[in-house]
Amino acid sequence: MRRIIIACLIIVLLGLVAFSVRTWRSLELLESARQTGVPSTSHVRPFMTLEIVGRMYSVSPAQIVAGMNLPAETPPATLLSTLMGSEPSIAFLKRLQTVLAAIAPAVERPPVETGWFGQLAASLLDAIIGFGTAGIAMAQFLAALGLPLPSGLSATVTGALAAQGRIDMVSAILATLPTSFAGDVIGFWLGRGVGISLLDRYGKYVGLSENRRALALGLFERWGGLTILLSRTYVSSMSSVVNVLAGAGNYPAVRFLAIAALGRTLWACAYLGIGYAVGNDSEAASDFLFNLTRLLMTVLAAVVCFAALKPAARQSSI
């Protein structure tokens, strides 16, 4: 069993490297496409032909050939990867994006505040944005304490607003990461102060129902300290419950703080990054989001493999 798990872990780690590279490259192309003013040009890929690209953006292959300074006799069925030669693929694709933005006026350039993310931002965060980054910070802090606020969605929309230039990205990070971590710390020490007996008696009145506590305790029994990390990332709705239970159960404070800080950093980077990547054009960001989803699932698989190695090693020693 241990050998099987190790083999699976090696495969997962190889996939992790591959998806990391793909995610980074798709993010580069998305950002480059935004700079041209035509986000939809983020879809160009080396495996496409001149003819396919021409159909996608309503231009003729001859226009692309002229704009890219390619030989005039270049066939429309030529792959982009063939045309790159010794030029790095990402540099070639960025040049192509610039050419397409210049010769394809029919491609719609969406205004800054349209699209479903722009509408979502207007409906969800109007009140918060009215108070600036202080409003975002307060919302994230209260959500980390357990109030029923959509912290992940708010962070995603905040990242989108930063991409639109309505919020400074550095300020958005400072308003999201430290405040959510502060809520985790306070929840932990509240749990340490009240103890298990008071939670049994009054927990249901503050959202710590028996079902949520049972789920959190089950996660602790199955994953141990990984529960703290997982509840910051993949099951973030359980973070406030895990904070209090960790404190009430006398979980080592230094270890909790270290894992919670790592988890919140991953959480903030993921949600803000997704929002920034999507901006106000979710279709243009579809390639990046697809690769990011596969990357996150690979990370989860790696965590599961690492967690399974310990009991497998114990059984083999017996």
pLDDT in tens, 129-181: 566 678 788 888 888 887 777 777 778 778 877 877 777 888 888 888 999 99
- Which range has highest mean pLDDT (89-103, 146-160, 230-244)? 89-103
pLDDT of residue 197: 61
Is pLDDT of 266 > 70? yes
Mean pLDDT value across residues 80-108: 82
**Average model confidence (pLDDT) for the chain?**
76
Residue 231: pLDDT above 70? yes
pLDDT at 195: 65
Task: Give pLDDT, residue 258.
Answer: 92
Per-residue pLDDT tens over the stretch 99-133? 988 887 544 444 444 444 445 445 555 555 566 67
Angle at 255 (CA atoms; ends 254, 261), nearest 5 degrees = 90
Give mean pLDDT, residues 225-235.
Answer: 77
> Which carries the bigger pLDDT value, residue 124 or residue 213?
213
